[in-house]
Amino acid sequence: MFWFGRPPLLRWMGAALLVVAAAVVEFWPSATVTHPFTASDTAAGDRLDVEWRAVPAGLLVQPPLTGMVASHAMKRGEPITPSDVEAPIAVPAGWWALAVELPIPVAPGSETRLVLGEGPTVAGLVVAISEPDPFDISGPTALMAVPGEDAGRVAAAVAARELVVLVAP
């Protein structure tokens, strides 16, 4: 008779083994390490506000954080990787820093030439960049370091909007 056939014990055991194997893989303890994430929105050149979270070991590379600043704008909760940090650019001794509107975005540390109206050119060094406002019609603003003896003339040229920024390719 049909209903007295042998039960499919091998299929039941195979399904049970599959469920047990899936549970073992799912609940097996994995190695975790703590990794830095941004605790708040950060602009380029700002010091990092860090919170530490557990992540699987080997997932992310640990960045150097001591004395470093953000290399670009970061949102809250982003993982911090080595490409997200850089050493801050220092203003050389005897130089002054002032905010200058740039025609194009440049990286901190870029050397520039500043043309003051019809007058001479002055060496400049980009110390930090601010992210442009999406509703602003002007370009990005940079903190530009210039020699101390030329700082007054550069500031006057910036105020009179008679400054041209030259950037080497």
Mean of pLDDT over the chain: 86
Q: What is the pLDDT averaged over residues 16-31?
A: 89
Task: Name the residue with higher pLDDT: 5 or 161.
Answer: 161
Provide the pLDDT for residue 63: 92
| C-alpha–C-alpha distance, residues 112 and 101, integer Å | 13
Contact 49, 39 (CB under 8 A): yes
Task: Name the residue with higher pLDDT: 108 or 124.
Answer: 124
Q: CA angle, corner 56, sides to 86 and 29, nearest 5?
A: 160
pLDDT of residue 68 exceeding 80: yes
pLDDT of residue 1 exceeding 90: no
N-term to C-term CA, the chain: 89
pLDDT of residue 169 exceeding 80: no
| Residues 112-133 pLDDT 10s | 899 988 778 899 998 887 766 6
Q: Which residues contact 160 (CB under 8 A, 6 or more apart)?
A: 117
Q: CA angle, corner 11, sides to 8 and 15, nearest 5?
A: 140
Task: Name the residue with higher pLDDT: 47 or 1.
Answer: 47
Q: What is the pTM of this model?
A: 0.57
- What are the phi and psi torsion angles at 23 (to 5°)? -65, -40
Half-sphere exposure of 120 (CA within 13 A, CB side): 6
Provide the pLDDT for residue 44: 81
Locate 136 and state its tokens: 């602003």
Q: How confident is the model at residue 17 (pLDDT cuts 50, 70, 90)?
A: very high
- Partners of 70 in beta bridges: 85
Provide the pLDDT for residue 2: 64
Tell which CATH classification among 2.170.130, 1.10.3470, 3.90.1210, 3.40.640 matches the domain 32-86. 3.90.1210
| C-alpha–C-alpha distance, residues 36 and 70, integer Å | 13
Provide the pLDDT for residue 73: 87
Question: What whole-number percentage of the chain has pLDDT above 70?
Answer: 93
Locate 61 and state its tokens: 């590379």
Long-range contacts of residues 13-17, Cβ cutoff 8 Å, at least 24 apart: none
Provide the pLDDT for residue 100: 86
CB atoms within 10 A of CB 127: 21
Q: What is the pLDDT averaged over residues 53-64?
A: 90
Sequence spans of domains, the chain: 32-86, 95-167
| C-alpha–C-alpha distance, residues 153 and 148, integer Å | 10
